[in-house]
């Protein structure tokens, strides 16, 4: 498809422009020719993961100390450009970095960072983010997985679900939240733990049969008497819920970037098709009913880009400092706004593109059908649209519950 110039009032740095061009070329030349096959096979292609690792994509937001680039905006650019080609591969990168290695980079001890980050940043290994449970999704504070103190550490029992990158042969560690007691205000005390793959009692259940994201890896997990030492506590005991909420703010901007890739792909596919498909002797793009809808896709892409990269710039300014409350609150609001707008726009964009393609848009041989399947989860993962509206309303000072 022909990429449309999507420049806006947002002005990326020359380095970011060059980086975007390089990632776009990589995605179109190395990944695009194979994405239909990979999705048809319903598998995460490790050859694609290794190619992205070789290109350096897993280290974009990582600390320079461990071989990373330390640039969250570059990560968002990469997720967007990979997602333009295939959403499954885009979420693989997003989850591996924004949710996988980020908790270790942000809250890990020196020993934990030294142990895990070199391989994660190099893409030799993948990490997973185990927050969601069968009865604790949006209400993550309702976590039922428990960790009980024993003389030599902790014993964890429980279950997690919808965990991305948890069942690959590259997966090395999973960050798990578990209840470790009750706080003084009566709320659950939640702590985060690092559970290496292969730990006795950790079972990766069979992969889900999903509506979309066919070429990504998603499994439920079972933890039955999983023993970990004190050195596998991530951050402070009792601070796990707060830590994971901070990580989710980053994940929301990353998901928004993935959604922007979807919007742009739908726009470009629709433009190309509307120029060539003829009805009643004229290209369908000559008809206002079609042209106006495609124009709306361009508006969505421009608006989403501004929201996403202004939020990403805030994140880069903040770095891994979690103690600047003012910057953190500003970023949290910007992340929710970007996530809400971009993901809901992506769902709309796939519907419009499908309508432009008509009956062909319902056929799996056309990419718009794949984007249509993949888009819905964007409104759910990393906090539903309803949660984003709640957070935005609270940020305005409304006493919403």
- Which residue among the candidates 65, 189, 382, 401 is catalytic per the annotation? 382
Strand partners for 204: 221
Token couple for 268: 């470009």
Give me the phi and psi of 219, to 5 degrees please: -140, 155
SS3 110: helix
Token couple for 210: 């999903």
Question: If you write DSSP's letter for every residue of 15-42 in order, what string do you get?
Answer: HHHHHHHHHHHHIIIIIGGGHHHHHHTT
Give me the phi and psi of 124, to 5 degrees please: -75, -15
In sequence order, the 6+-apart residues with CB closer than 8 A to the CB of 391 are 332, 333, 336, 383
Q: Give the DSSP letter of residue 55.
A: T
The upper half-sphere exposure of residue 230, i.e. CA atoms within 13 Å in the direction of its Cβ, equals 4
CA distance 143 to 134: 9
- Residue 65 a catalytic site member: no
Q: Is 360 exposed, middle or buried (0-12, 13-18, 19+ CB in 10 A)?
A: middle
Strand partners for 130: 176
Q: Give the DSSP letter of residue 99.
A: I
Q: Give the DSSP letter of residue 136.
A: B
Q: Residues with catalytic annotation?
A: 382
């Amino acid at each position: 498809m022909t990429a449309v110039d999507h420049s806006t009032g947002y002005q990326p740095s020359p380095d970011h422009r060059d980086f975007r061009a390089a990632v776009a070329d990589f995605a179109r030349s190395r990944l695009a020719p194979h994405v239909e096959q990979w999705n048809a096979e319903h598998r995460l292609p490790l050859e694609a993961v290794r190619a992205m690792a070789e290109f350096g994509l897993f280290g974009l937001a990582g600390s320079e100390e461990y071989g990373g680039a330390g640039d969250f905006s570059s990560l968002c650019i990469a997720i967007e450009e990979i997602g333009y080609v295939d959403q499954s591969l885009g979420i693989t990168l997003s989850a591996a970095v924004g949710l996988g290695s980020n908790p270790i980079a942000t809250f890990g001890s020196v020993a934990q960072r030294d142990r895990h980050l070199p391989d994660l940043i190099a893409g030799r290994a993948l990490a997973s983010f185990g927050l969601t449970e069968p009865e604790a999704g949006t209400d993550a504070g309702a976590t039922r997985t428990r960790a009980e103190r024993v003389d030599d550490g902790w014993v964890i029992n429980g279950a997690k679900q919808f965990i991305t990158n948890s069942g690959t042969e590259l997966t090395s560690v999973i960050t798990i939240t578990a209840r470790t007691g009750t706080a003084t205000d009566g709320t659950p005390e939640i702590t985060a733990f690092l559970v290496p793959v292969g730990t006795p009692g950790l079972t990766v259940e069979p992969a889900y049969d999903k509506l979309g994201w066919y070429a990504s890896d998603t499994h439920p997990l079972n933890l039955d008497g999983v023993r970990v030492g004190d050195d596998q506590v991530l951050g402070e005991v009792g601070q796990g819920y707060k830590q994971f909420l901070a990580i989710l703010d980053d994940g929301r901007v990353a998901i928004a970037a993935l959604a922007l890739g979807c919007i742009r792909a739908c726009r470009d596919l629709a433009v190309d098709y509307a120029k060539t498909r003829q009805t009643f002797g004229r290209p369908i793009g000559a008809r206002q009913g079609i042209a106006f809808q495609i124009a709306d896709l361009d508006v969505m892409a421009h608006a989403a880009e501004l929201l996403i990269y202004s939020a990403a710039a805030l994140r880069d300014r903040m770095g891994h400092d979690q103690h600047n409350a003012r910057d953190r609150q500003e970023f949290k609001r910007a992340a929710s706004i970007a996530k809400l707008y971009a993901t809901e726009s992506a769902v709309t964009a796939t519907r419009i593109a499908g309508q432009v393609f008509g009956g062909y848009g319902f056929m799996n041989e056309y990419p718009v059908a794949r984007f249509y399947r993949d888009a819905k989860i964007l409104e759910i993962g990393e906090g539903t649209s309803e949660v984003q509206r709640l957070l935005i309303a609270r940020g305005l000072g409304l006493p919403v519950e």
